[in-house]
Structure 1
Amino acid sequence: MEIIRSKEFKSERAWGAKDIANMNGITTRLHWTDQPYKWHVNDGEEVFVVLDGVVEMLFKENGIEQSSVLRTGDIFYASIGTEHVAHPRGEARILVVESEGSV
């Protein structure tokens, strides 16, 4: 049993994470960042939940780049093959659920 105060979590580096659970190869991790990630495609599906802060999520649909601003409580679902990148606006804390070892 563990209680995690997500708003208090901070890493020494951008996209640093606290591993919360691994359930049959599906990981749940809490990330802190103040820097953009990199364009990538996950090995499977990904659920990306903004717990604190604001994140601009850029993604490609049919080869066309689009973006959406995610605020606290918003969820981005990346289906298999969705190319995307997260750009926080200041500090952000994000809960990510994805296949173990995914990018």
Structure 2
Amino acid sequence: MNIIRSKDFTGERPWAALDIANMNGITTRLHWTDQPYKWHVNDGQEVFVVLDGQVEMRFKQDGVEQRTVLQTGDIFYASIGTAHVAHPLGEARVLVIESEGSV
């Protein structure tokens, strides 16, 4: 058993992660960041939950770039093949659930 206070987690670099669990190849990680990630496509599905802060999520749908601002408590689901990139608006803490070894 473990209790994690997500607001207390701060990384030494953008997208630093705290590994929470690995359940049959599905990882759950808490990320802290204040900088954008990079455009990428995951090997599998991804669930992205904003726990603290705001994140502008950019994604491509039918080849067209879309943007939406995710608030604390919002969830973004990326299906296989969805190109996306997260741009925090200030500091953010994000819970990411994805296949082990995903980008």
Q: TM-score range by the shorter chain?
A: over 0.9
Structure 2 residue ranges without an equivalent (≥5): none
Q: Which stretches of structure 1, 4 residues or longer, exceed 2 Å deviation after superposition? A: none
Greater share of residues in strand = 1
Post-superposition Cα deviations, 1:57-97, rounded to whole Å, max 9, x if no partner, equal: 00000000000000000000000000000000000000000
Indicate yes or no: 2:99 matched with 1:99: yes
| Number of residue equivalences | 103
Question: What is the percent sequence identity of the aligned residues?
Answer: 81
Match of 1:56 in 2: 56
Structure 1 residue ranges without an equivalent (≥5): none
SS at match of 2:14: coil
Indicate yes or no: 2:83 matched with 1:83: yes
Post-superposition Cα deviations, 1:13-62, rounded to whole Å, max 9, x if no partner, equal: 00000000000000000000000000000010000000000000000000
SS at match of 2:7: helix
* TM-score after normalising by structure 1: 1.00
1:2 and 1:21 map into 2 onto residues whose CA distance is 10
2:5 and 2:46 map into 1 onto residues whose CA distance is 22
* TM-score after normalising by structure 2: 1.00
1:71 and 1:10 map into 2 onto residues whose CA distance is 19
RMSD of aligned C-alpha atoms? 0.2
